[in-house]
Amino acid sequence: MKNYNSKGRDGWPNFRIISDLHLQHLNLLRVDMNYYSDPSDISGTISYLLRVVMREASNPNHVNYRYWQLVQKMAKIVQFIGPPRGSSSPIGRLPTEILAEIFLYCIPEDANWTPAPDLAPMQLTAVCRRWREIAVNMPNLWRRLRLEMGHGDWQQRAFCYDSYLKRSRGRQLSLTLECNDNKWTELRSLLQPYVHQISSLHVGLSSGTSSFPLVAADFGGLEELVIYTDGSIPGPAVTHSIMHSITHFPPNMRNLRLLDMFSNFQVLSSLNSPSWAGLTNLEIMVAGLFSLPCLLRLCPNLSSLTMIGSFMPADETLGNLVHTKLQSLRISGDLRTSTVLFGLLGLFDYLTLPNLRIVEVRNVARWAHGEFKALIARSQCPLESLIFGGGVTTTPQELAEYVTLFPSLKLVIDPKRSALFK
């Protein structure tokens, strides 16, 4: 009997398979498509995989990893050979549940994409009626989308985007907005029905963008926001507009990355927004006077902080800050402005970080060894990893001191790590 007690990634039942699927058995399932010039070879492989999957899926025991290995092999074959050739083909005989899982593996999980007829999921809907019915009724196939606002017929693209998003049926969405002009009114109109579904939002601004009228608080389900440009630094008006839009966040907001735009101490200190307290991960570019304690006070639950730019520590007037949540701290100078931080002198004053575990620095010139030693001494933190990238000057004696303080420390000196953090 098949066990339908648990659900797969799209709500489909998970089949159970036996726990003693041997490794040598899996080796027989490895498929290198370069070896298959004869269609009969592919057909035979599919038939074999289908028999194995169905036999193991019918067993009440469960080893999820082994089952997904089989399904992934099937997905690779589906992507390689394309549509099934008639109902008698091995792929045409796949059960709906297994075919649905294969469809999920045809979708990249690490990026949003622009719909295209030769790529999944759109490609899956054009194969045959059965595949189309399965694909359009799988909301998880339609959760990731890249919207381009620039050239061409916007009305036609907007219609296609809306049809795509409707198939998500209320599931969380991950969207990338490529804003090549100022069609913000049309964009807001398109997104309005889905604002509470959007959990991840990446907004790319071109050099011609003159405003940023999106308001983060309007996206009720937002958890992650990334704002970046095509490499150009936004003007003061756009930067001001962006900072105004992120003054307040929805309650579930956790991750914020502000790339290619500089913030300063005055801007950050003026935010004073309680909603920033929910952030756990922050990547920010800073310039001029800057106070790390000020930023950490704004984000008391921050566990990971990445700072890029050229700045000087500002005078701290509120005394020492104990921040118990920060575990990862990464700091880099900004190579694009041909500037580096000058030793970070004063940056660690007035700070205690008892849970600091990972520190990585790049392009900071002379490392503030004494101040950092004082920080870890008063913090009594469990430092696990200390990484010095390119553009950092240390001495062998300083490095030896860290190893003495933390015998199990992972100490990395890698001059090749000189680019901005990704």
Q: Say if residue 217 is exposed, middle or buried (CB neighbours under 10 Å; 0-12, 13-18, 19+).
A: middle
69: enclosing H helix or E strand: helix 64-81
One pLDDT digit (tens) per residue for the chain, 422 residues: 333 334 333 333 333 322 233 223 323 333 333 333 344 454 455 555 555 555 555 554 544 444 455 555 555 555 554 555 555 555 666 778 878 877 887 776 667 778 877 778 888 888 788 888 999 999 999 999 998 876 677 788 888 899 999 999 999 999 998 876 667 788 888 999 999 999 999 998 877 777 787 888 889 999 999 998 877 777 777 888 888 888 889 999 999 999 877 776 677 767 767 889 999 999 988 877 677 888 898 899 999 999 888 767 666 666 788 999 999 999 988 655 544 444 566 778 889 999 999 999 998 888 889 999 999 999 999 999 999 999 888 999 999 999 999 999 999 999 888 776 66
- Report the sign of the C-alpha dihedral through residues 67, 70, 74, 79, in that order: positive
DSSP class per residue in 42-60 = HHHHHHHHHHHHHHHHBSS
Phi, psi of 53 (to 5 degrees): -60, -45
